[in-house]
């Protein structure tokens, strides 16, 4: 049951919000603001699942209610909720005022005392052709096949003006529409691009001729759900103007085996390259079984026990920061303590804490790389010889042993535990072992070990990308071929390096085809 949330000092109202063509990144700032305020969200079934997931993630606790039926009935439900003081968002695909049914809903709300707002969205009929690489120009005409539009008349106008037609509907509606366009005067040789999943990483575009669509020989069967058909000579320039489906990782299914709360940055960057990330939690990060050791260590920072603190992961920084909050401390407790970090991502987490690290390896981003740059203890220059090393319970002894060799005394403290996650669903396990993923991105040795432990080894044809040398060594121990390793051990360079690798594969294939 949805609990209605009232806005302080404001009566209920209905807000018609355009969800755009399907990419959550195309929700406008005003749309996001309206959704954040909403107590009730009434959503069309054809609003993209990715958009619905993004709305739920950004507004925890807000229930999305699917709607169907006549516009008057939908409007009646929205009005009833608004009269109880709720802000009701009516979330629709594309732009609200490009849908005849939504306009009828607005008119129905107008006949009541409930106020309404409209938040325009990016129209599907113009956005999807752009994502398909078609420039519509200024003479394009759009039509929804569900609205009973006079297609022969549109065809005649397009034939005489040389404009572009954009049709929205389903794949099974297109053959009859194509027949009527030809009857209206458009040549059967007119190029057509049919796009499904527009603006998302699952987008597919089929280029054909109008006659092939009319004769049902265009191969539309694999296309399902709502489609956008762009008809006209503008389609011919698609080879030069295509920018989305030509991205290096477009259509690649990439396995992201990480802790669940850390997968977002990698998945977002993969999507920007056109990939389809599939997140599989392999480890869960939990506090130490006993907090006493960490309590003593953090208090030791305050009392001047340590000359250095060495962070080897973002999780270690997070564990120390959470302990600071628990004990009522802030970054001032690091006064007089030098900070070393392995990897730029770890260093960024320290900077977010308000601290500038003194040492990040200049070479290899690993324990060995840190040891290569870490100074030896000098009893004249270093008044405090003790180093705090907060890290995972399963960390190797390489770093601690190397620091001891340089004359330092080490407090090796378990800051967090890593626990193997539950196995993923059977379909995911089968895809991992059977070659259903184009690539996998490993960000630590533990993700390698745990993925193999819960799901098996990735197939030999799967591209293996690793964040750094230690992760590469772990992958090789399990017999995996390492294809990609960035110069800088961080998530962004890892994904960038994978994109460069994919581009090199494509260029090699193009070269062989010439």
pLDDT digits (tens, 9 = 90+) for 95-154: 999 999 999 999 999 999 999 999 999 999 999 999 999 999 888 899 999 888 899 998
Phi-psi region at 219: left, alpha or beta (left = phi > 0; alpha = psi -120 to 50)? left
pLDDT of residue 161: 74
d(CA 230, CA 168): 9
pLDDT of residue 3: 40
d(CA 394, CA 386): 22
pLDDT of residue 352: 92
pLDDT of residue 7: 44
Residue 55, burial from CB neighbour count under 10 angstroms (0-12, 13-18, 19+): buried
d(CA 466, CA 493): 10
d(CA 89, CA 41): 5
Q: In this structure, how many other beta carbons lie within 10 angstroms of the beta carbon of residue 61?
A: 9
pLDDT of residue 39: 94
Q: Is 18 helix (H, G, I), strand (E, B) or coil?
A: strand
Count the alpha carbons within 13 Å of 462 in the hemisphere toward its beta carbon. Answer: 25
Q: Structure tokens of 103?
A: 């306009």
- Provide φ and ψ at 87, rounded to 5°: -85, 115
Specify the DSSP element, H or E, that contains 265: helix 263-272
d(CA 122, CA 465): 36
Count the alpha carbons within 13 Å of 126 in the hemisphere toward its beta carbon. Answer: 13
d(CA 14, CA 506): 49
**Closest to 346 (Cα-Cα) out of 440, 468, 449:** 468
pLDDT of residue 261: 58
Give yes or no for a contact between 392 and 315, defined as CB atoms under 8 angstroms apart.
yes
pLDDT of residue 419: 82
Low-confidence ranges of the chain (pLDDT < 50): 1-9
């Amino acid at each position: 049951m949805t609990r209605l949330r009232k806005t302080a000092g404001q009566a209920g109202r209905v807000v018609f919000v355009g969800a755009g063509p399907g990419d959550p990144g195309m929700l406008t700032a005003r749309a996001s603001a309206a959704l954040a305020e909403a107590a009730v969200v009434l959503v069309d079934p054809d609003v993209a699942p990715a958009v619905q997931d993004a709305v739920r993630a950004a507004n925890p606790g807000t229930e999305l209610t699917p709607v169907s039926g006549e516009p008057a009935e939908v409007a009646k439900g929205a009005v009833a909720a608004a009269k109880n003081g709720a802000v009701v968002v009516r979330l629709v695909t594309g732009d609200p005022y490009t849908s005849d049914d939504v306009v009828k809903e607005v008119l129905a709300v107008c006949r009541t005392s409930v106020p309404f707002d409209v938040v325009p969205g990016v129209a599907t009929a113009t956005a999807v052709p752009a994502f398909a690489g078609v420039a519509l120009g200024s003479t394009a005409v759009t039509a929804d096949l569900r609205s009973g539009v006079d297609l022969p008349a549109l065809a005649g106008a397009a034939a005489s003006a040389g404009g572009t037609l954009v049709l929205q509907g389903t794949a099974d509606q297109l053959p009859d529409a194509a027949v009527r366009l030809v009857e209206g005067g458009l040549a059967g040789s007119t190029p057509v691009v049919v796009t499904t999943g527009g603006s998302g990483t699952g987008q597919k575009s089929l280029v054909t001729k109008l006659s092939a669509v009319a004769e049902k020989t265009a191969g539309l069967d694999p296309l399902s759900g709502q489609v956008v058909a762009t008809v006209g000579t503008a389609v011919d320039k698609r080879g030069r103007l295509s920018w989305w489906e030509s991205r290096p990782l477009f259509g690649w299914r990439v396995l992201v085996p990480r802790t669940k709360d850390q997968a977002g940055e990698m998945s977002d960057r993969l999507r920007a390259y056109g990939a389809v990330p599939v997140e599989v939690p392999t480890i869960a990060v939990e506090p130490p079984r006993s907090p006493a050791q960490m309590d003593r260590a953090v208090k030791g920072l305050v009392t001047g026990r340590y000359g250095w603190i060495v962070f080897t992961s973002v999780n270690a920084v997070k564990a120390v920061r959470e302990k600071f909050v628990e004990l009522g401390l802030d970054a001032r407790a690091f006064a007089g303590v030098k900070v070393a970090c392995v990897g730029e991502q770890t260093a960024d987490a320290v900077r977010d804490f308000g601290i500038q690290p003194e040492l990040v390896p200049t070479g290899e981003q690993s324990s060995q790389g840190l040891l290569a740059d870490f100074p030896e203890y000098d009893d004249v220059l270093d008044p405090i010889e003790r180093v705090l090393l907060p890290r995972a319970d399963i960390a190797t002894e390489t770093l601690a042993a190397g620091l001891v060799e340089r004359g330092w005394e080490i407090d090796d403290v378990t800051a967090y535990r890593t626990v193997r996650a539950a196995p993923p669903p059977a379909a995911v396990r089968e895809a991992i072992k059977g070659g259903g993923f184009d690539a996998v991105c490993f960000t630590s040795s533990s993700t390698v070990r745990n993925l193999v432990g819960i799901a098996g080894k990735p197939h030999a044809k799967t591209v293996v990308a690793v964040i750094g040398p230690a992760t590469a060594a772990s992958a090789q121990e399990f017999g995996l071929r390492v294809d990609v390793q960035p110069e800088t051990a961080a998530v962004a360079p890892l994904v960038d390096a994978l994109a460069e690798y994919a581009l090199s594969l494509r260029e090699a294939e193009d070269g062989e085809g010439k």
